[in-house]
Homo-oligomer: A and B are copies of this chain.
Amino acid sequence: MKRILIDDDHFHDHCGIVGVYGHAEASKLAYLGLYALQHRGQESAGIVSTDGSHLSMVKAMGLVQDIFSSEALARLPGHAAIGHTRYSTAGDSSKLNAQPILIDCNKGHLAIGHNGNLTNAAEWRRKLDHRGSIFQTSSDTEVIFHLMARSSARHLTGALADALRQVEGAYSLVLLGSDELYAIRDPRGFRPLALGRLGEAWIVASETCAFDLVGASYLRDVEPGEMVRISAAGLESIAFAPEKQHQYCIFEHVYFARPDSYVFGRPVNESREMLGRLLAREHPAPTDLVVPVPDSGVPAAIGFALESGIPFRMGLIRNHYVGRTFIEPEQAIRDFGVKLKLNPVRELLEGRRVALVDDSIVRGTTSRKIVRMLREAGASEVHMRISCPPTISPCYYGIDTPTREELIAAQHSIEEIRDFVGADSLGYLSLASLRRAVGDAEERFCTSCYTGRYPTELVQLEVAVERQSR
């Protein structure tokens, strides 16, 4: 019997992280925070807590609410905790790489949770390997621990700073010691990390929606190049590396983050509506309806509708009970995978011209099925509008993307893509409008997936070599 993987052809984030210090129910707050960040990773989740001396861990494959039973939470005592939720492609997902990672070394008993990707991890791994380090996981994150353990700094803070100065790439980190919590962002600030307060307790999380659920207030972001140390002595801010040109991940605003979150200090919903408004200006569509691909396409579609004056309608309904895999009948149903998630509202579509708003086209296969679904439901015309530029390059900074070869826009013209997906017209937002929509006057955002220009040297080199070799 064939069990298929339900994929929606989006880029996927690698994870969400959370940290709590100074609360009697630290692990329960971490659990609620992870629950609010569940959209950032549904493959595995873990929490490590400390009671001031002993670290306890629970991690498993699955969803946050399934892993953290009353019994599991009872095994996570203490006043501080970190949590991690992770997405991973089916192939290499395994409990081995689930986080947090818990270790013992000369700097103590430590746990770490990482959102991002270290671009020089492979290089370091070769070196450490040569020097006799042994690796338990295939994750880049483990390198940080090895560098810390080999640092001559006598204290944890110094060793951590030492280690971080040697790695390159994208990292937002939570690190838990026996009685201290660190929250760290790389000097370019690729990935988000927000700092909040709940009474006397401190909380950090990838997105502010985690604060809302537990009733915490959002203070500020952990800054690029900042290491925040929280302990019994309170909060201490340490600049562990000189500032670099900021490179906030623009795709957080386009797709990843929840619209009710603040990310990089800016409301995500505001960005998304503006993406839709600017898209309507750049690529007007003479249609009867504006229909989003739910749920992620909704805010941009609302923006598009508001700007164009064309009515917004929920022409596609999403089934929210869908799991990650599904048993397909042997007599295959056309577009089965998409139908499990989306169903057209025939009454709205029949005989209408539709502006279909989505946030990205990755391989194009899902878009093609959705367009076909709309036509079969009676739409007379389908004009596809994408709230960002063509995605032409993979991400090296913590996002799970297909290879360049699989990215339809890396290989094909917009007209070819339009033809492939079967739309009557296709419009992508321009890079300038994208920057404008997220308020990026000072070019602090990374847009490498749209430009192929990478802000870190090693990646630049690799990409150049790869290009030559073709």
Contact = CB atoms under 8 A, between A and B. Distances in A.
Interface of A: 1, 3, 24-25, 28-29, 31-32, 35-36, 38-39, 42, 57, 63-66, 68-70, 73-74, 96, 102-106, 129-136, 138, 145-146, 149-151, 209, 212-215, 258-260, 267, 269-270, 295, 298-299, 302, 305-306, 311-314, 317, 319-323, 326-327, 329-331, 333-334, 339-340, 343-348
A38 B321 contact: yes
A444 to B, nearest CB: 20
How many copies of this protein are present in the complex? 4
B347 A267 contact: yes
Contact of A1 (B73, B311, B323): B73
Nearest to A295: B320
Nearest to A129: B106
A327 B136 contact: no
Given A3-B70, A313-B302, A346-B267, A132 B106 contact: yes
A298 B345 CA distance: 14
B132 A317 contact: no
Contact of A132 (B146, B269, B345): B146
A48 to B, nearest CB: 12
Nearest to A38: B321
A215 B209 CA distance: 38
A28 B133 CA distance: 32
A314 B106 contact: no
A339 B39 CA distance: 16
Contacts of A298: 314
A129 to B, nearest CB: 4
A260 B38 contact: no
Contact of A267 (B146, B311, B331, B345): B345
**Residue in A150, A298, A329, A339 whose Cβ sees the most chain B Cβ within 10 Å:** A329
Nearest to A347: B267
Contacts of A3: 70
A317 B105 contact: no
A22 to B, nearest CB: 13
A311 to B, nearest CB: 6
6 contacts: A24-B331, A36-B319, A103-B134, A132-B146, A302-B313, A302-B314
Contact of A329 (B32, B39, B260): B32
A269 B28 contact: no
A443 B309 CA distance: 37
Contacts of A327: 28, 31, 68-70, 73
A333 B214 contact: yes
